[in-house]
Amino acid sequence: MKLYPLFADLSHRAVLVVGGGAVAERKIAGLLGAQAQVTVNAPTLTPQLQRWAAEGRIAHRRDAFQESWLDRVWLVVAATSDVELNQVIATFAGLRRIFVNVVDDAALSSFHVPAVVDRAPLTIAISSGGEAPMLARLLRERLETLLDHSLGALATLAARLRRRIRLRHPDLAARRRFYESLFTGPVATLLRQGRPEEARQAAEQALATVSAASTGSVVLVGAGPGDPGLLTLRALRALNEADVILHDRLVSAEVLDLARRDAERIEVGKQAGHHHTTQDGIHALLLQHARAGRRIVRLKGGDPFVFGRGGEELEFLRDHGIPYEVVPGITAAVACAAYAGVPLTHRDHAQSVRFVTAHCQSSRDTLDWAALAQERQTLAVYMGVAELGELRARLIERGREPSTPFALIENGSRPEQRVITGTLANLAERAAFHAVRSPALLILGEVAALAASLAWFGSPPLGATVHEIPVPSVARPVRADILAAVHRA
């Protein structure tokens, strides 16, 4: 975040604006709306500024700018066409640690005036840090059409009731639920219909109603592979309603940033050999917070029902009478393949796709390797980075061609995504050469070869180079056709 957002209380505080043209007029209009005491320094003024000066709404100084005028001001706006004068004003203001805005010069400015959506007392400010002001204005125009003007009256009503609401609902979770019903229920509807007195009465009635203590609930949410843009709208809504978020290690920081700021975040990540929180521990946390009446989001990378143990957690919640719902996510195989330009099925190459996990001995021993080795199908292998050598050996033993293409996708859908391509014969060596680390997903099958031509996101795929000499390490005598495939790769 380049700039720290804040809202300044300028009521009855001195502000100096240097410049008397149309740009200065726009800045002064906003300052007067905030009830600032504005002094304008300019030899001439626009007609509107002249009227405001005649009415006593602003003070006017015609002589040249003087440093002493900064003695008691809180903010300075330099809105002149004189570049050197703007530089002088910015320098003096900086020496005095006074925030200054130099119009159309982001480098000289220590604060920026945002595009504003005004639903007083509710205010929405949009800033591009001075880099793209027209984009900020475009966003403001869009928000103006989305946000009803009754929001200001709703905010005012909530402010009048705030102290009573806190006394009536000392528990934060219960208070939040009351506010949400106030902002989205009949009270808000009445205000939109222009019936403020009836809205006030409805709010008073809701405040007087005794609500029984309720059991909390759990929403099992799929966070997708990492790109926050892949979250569903329902997932975003759940994150903004949650009191507690239990999240996996691989849930990206960008996704967590979309959650409500005051929600409690608890990492319950598990990875091979390092179980920070056991599954029983996760169950205990779900039960503890639900019985305390909290709304919980159990946030899982990818989709909770694809190698996410979501079914086990729902069984636990059902057995303990905890209400739950599921918000699916885009599973890693679908997302990573799409971001690597690899179609999981293709009329010419693959008529089926299998999702496989092979991260431990027990899971490997239960797989039907003969079926997995069949051609014209795609294998999407989760959590298999540490077992690529054994995976290759078992597939080749069951008849999968060593020349079968693969695409190994690390950090799929994230800015740091890497795609490593090759053939089954050199899979483990290529992964080791590029130091592939979890999270990574393996796509094996004829479709993987399309990554070279269909890639669209991030860096181009890393194909084999003449500097790499992969040597297969399969757990059986190496056949001549394997060696030939290795040299061809």
Catalytic residues: 248, 270
User: What is the three-class DSSP state of 58?
Assistant: strand
Place of tokens 């019903």: 181
93: left (phi over 0), alpha (psi -120 to 50) or beta: alpha
Indicate the DSSP class of residue 293: T
Return the structure tokens found at 163: 């102290």
Return the structure tokens found at 421: 């391509």
- The Cα 252–Cα 241 span in angstroms is 19
Neighbours of 292 (CB within 10 A): 14
Return the structure tokens found at 63: 């002589």
Return the structure tokens found at 335: 């997302």
Return the structure tokens found at 338: 């799409």
Count Cβ atoms within 10 A of the Cβ of residue 73 and give its class: 0-12 exposed, 13-18 middle, 19 or more buried.
buried
β-pair partners for 350: 346
Q: In 171-232, which residue ranges form alpha helices assigned H by DSSP?
A: 172-184, 186-192, 196-208
Identity of the residue numbered 189: T
Neighbours of 443 (CB within 10 A): 27
Q: How far is CA 175 from CA 162, 167, 172, in A?
A: 10, 10, 5
Nearest residue to 422 via CA among 401, 402, 407, 411: 407
Cis peptide before 186 (omega within 30 of 0): no
| CB 440, CB 385: distance < 8 Å | yes
Cis peptide before 121 (omega within 30 of 0): yes
- The Cα 76–Cα 10 span in angstroms is 12
- The Cα 311–Cα 322 span in angstroms is 14
Strands 37-41 and 14-18: parallel
| CB 246, CB 222: distance < 8 Å | no
| CB 243, CB 289: distance < 8 Å | yes
Query: Can you say whether the dihedral through the CA atoms of 6, 12, 15, 20 is positive or negative?
Result: positive
Nearest residue to 55 via CA among 75, 28, 26, 19: 28
- The Cα 8–Cα 31 span in angstroms is 11
